[in-house]
A and B are shown apart, each in its own frame.
Chain A
Amino acid sequence: MSNSMIICKDVSKSYQRGGETLSVLDHLDLEMEAGRFYALMGPSGSGKTTLLNLIGGLDRPDSGEVTVAGAPLSKLGSGPLASWRAANVGFVFQGFNLIPVLSAFENVRLPLTLTPLSKAERKKHAELALSIVGMSDRMDHRPSQLSGGQEQRVAIARAIASDPKVLLCDEPTGDLDRESADQVMDLLVRLGKEFGKTILMVTHDPAAAARAERIVHLDKGKLGHIESNVGA
């Protein structure tokens, strides 16, 4: 596939649990195009989050190779991998994962400290990211002062603040009510369409998955099938 943003080649990953080896991903091959919105679905334990973590460079495969935005992740050491994450990937988690002691604005500005931007530019970028997600009026609020939907929008603003190529979302609507979930999904779709982000979203929610352009099904650590969602 040309124009591939994410390539997983013969990727395996297992964990030790209670003295047993638990195979989570089993010689998985997968390619994803740049600028597309993918939903990753499958039953619990099928390896969705593990695959997301491997693609995001948060974990390493036992074997095989994960290449994202042209970078073979297994060849990067811990420091370069961290720098690569800062430049190329934005994460959106189910539990939002905002730093509780920082305001919304400070949370969004935080990853920008890893860029060569000046202080004024960082401020501008953070404000822009918050305005994109519609949270400009809450930028001084701490996470504990925000609703779940608002927290997730701030988390998305943080994920896009440094303009990464790839957005990795782990159940981004899992902790939200329907209305908030729809707002978050609208936002993600918009980021894909307007800003050309490659988005990979793990979800159990068929309604959320229906908003993606492709739905990748995993089953017991193997690739099931990929659906094209014509309506998305």
Chain B
Amino acid sequence: MDFLTLTRRNLWRHPLRTTLTCGAIAMAVFLVCTLRSLVTTLDNSAVASRNERLWVQSAVSLFVSLPQSYQAKIEAIDGVDLVCKWQWFGGIYIEPKNFFGQFAVDPEKALSLYPELTVTEGSKEAFLGSRQMVLVGQGLVDRFGWKLGDKVPIMGTIFPHPDGADTPWEFEIAAIYQSSKPNVDNQMFLFHWDYFAETVETASGTAPDVGTYVVRTHPASDQSAIMREIDTMFENGPQRVQATTESEFQAQFVSMYGNVGFFVSAIGGAVLLAILLAALNTMLMSAREQTRDVGILKALGFSDGRLFAYMLGQSFALCLVGGAIGVSLALLLEKGISKAFAAMLPNYAVIPQTIVLAVGITFVIGLLAGILPALRARAILPVTALSDR
């Protein structure tokens, strides 16, 4: 108990220095938690994706569309259970900063494809009932304060309205979903392909192509064979395709951000190194000030081992308090960050493994910052320590 009191009082001998060092550690741990959570959120969205769903896109680029005729051909492949059109709309709600994904889909098939979408308000029937009806994620409802029955105008950028580029597409909120898995964005805006196709055809005079097809296979089917068959089927055009599992498709999006893991690790590593040096500096200064105290304690009969543990304990105490504040900050700000990154990175979350990692890092910083002063306290002769002025 006396050693704990001594540790606490010594750390508080210079309140400003201790507070600043503790704050720096807290900030570093918070940054590591947040950066790591960005990576795990990206990874989780890919890992959690269901592999019985395949995505078929142009082999050239995601920006190249596929003919509508492909749907029936893919449906005819043995082992394919369902094929749904999935078209990126890319419209603007009021202003560009209100970015979220709008998709024209085959509504009934989309709901069947994604059992992760649980309708929490309104009903599936209401969504299917009229072509201007939309199904929106709870994330969008929270973000924009929408409710059932609200009319939502979306300005088409890629697909302008037939009445002119200044005329918005009109939608009505028929149902709200909550995603039960991190792989499914909680901020999607799903509307009827028929409404989309007719409006586009009216505007341009030609039926639109399809951005991607989402395919569900039979559980017992050989997915690799189905993917090969799809690729081979359209090898001679008019558009070559690439079929991938959903997780691979998600991973493609992640890779669009570059090597996020390396980038984040590099930043996190640099931050940690800087903080380690700051903590080490504090501990060395603190240990230097306590040299005489170490001599006194040795004269009183405290062993070298106890003094080693005592000095190391001070470092751990400093770092663990800082680390605890950092982790608490990361958890407290989780919702705020999730909201801030909602458009780019849905379902941001600080997972338990990240907290364990942060605690581990805190321990390592405590160990590295305290080991030198602790070794010095253990090795110094009592007479040498007592003669320190």
Interface residues, chain A, CB within 8 Å of chain B?
A: 53, 56, 58-59, 78-79, 82-87, 91, 93, 97-102, 106, 109-111, 113-114, 119, 158
Contacts and interface: CB of A to CB of B under 8 A. Distances in A.
A58 B382 contact: yes
A102 B3 CA distance: 11
A119 B1 contact: yes
Contacts of A100: 293
Contact of B296 (A83, A86, A99, A119): A99
Contacts of A119: 1
Contacts of A98: 296
A110 B298 CA distance: 12
B206 interface: no
B266 interface: no
Contacts of B6: 99, 101-102, 110
Interface residues of B, number: 26
B1 to A, nearest CB: 7
B246 to A, nearest CB: 61
Contact of A82 (B12, B13, B304): B304
A116 to B, nearest CB: 13
B301 A85 contact: yes
B204 interface: no
A158 B296 CA distance: 11
Given A93-B386, A113-B3, A82 B301 contact: yes
23 contacts: A58-B299, A58-B386, A59-B381, A59-B382, A78-B303, A82-B301, A82-B302, A82-B304, A85-B300, A91-B299, A97-B292, A97-B299, A99-B6, A99-B293, A101-B6, A101-B10, A102-B2, A102-B5, A102-B9, A110-B2, A110-B297, A113-B2, A114-B301
A64 B10 CA distance: 40
B305 interface: yes
Contacts of B292: 97
Contacts of B298: 58, 82
Nearest to A88: B301
B304 A78 contact: yes
A72 B297 CA distance: 22
A48 B302 CA distance: 24
Interface string B278-301: 000000000000001101111111
B383 interface: yes
A87 B301 contact: yes
A58 B296 CA distance: 10
B301 A86 contact: yes
Contact of A101 (B9, B295, B305): B9
Contacts of A113: 1-3
B380 to A, nearest CB: 11
Contacts of B2: 102, 106, 109-110, 113
Q: Which of B6, B301, B302, B386 has the most CB of A within 10 A?
A: B301
Contacts of A56: 299
Given A58-B298, A97-B386, A106 B5 contact: yes
A91 B295 CA distance: 12
Contacts of B301: 82-87, 111, 114
Nearest to B3: A113
Contacts of A114: 300-302
Contact of B383 (A53, A83, A85): A53
Given A78-B304, A85-B301, 7 more contacts: A58-B299, A78-B303, A82-B304, A85-B299, A86-B301, A91-B300, A102-B6
A17 to B, nearest CB: 13
Contacts of A91: 299-300
A86 B382 CA distance: 13
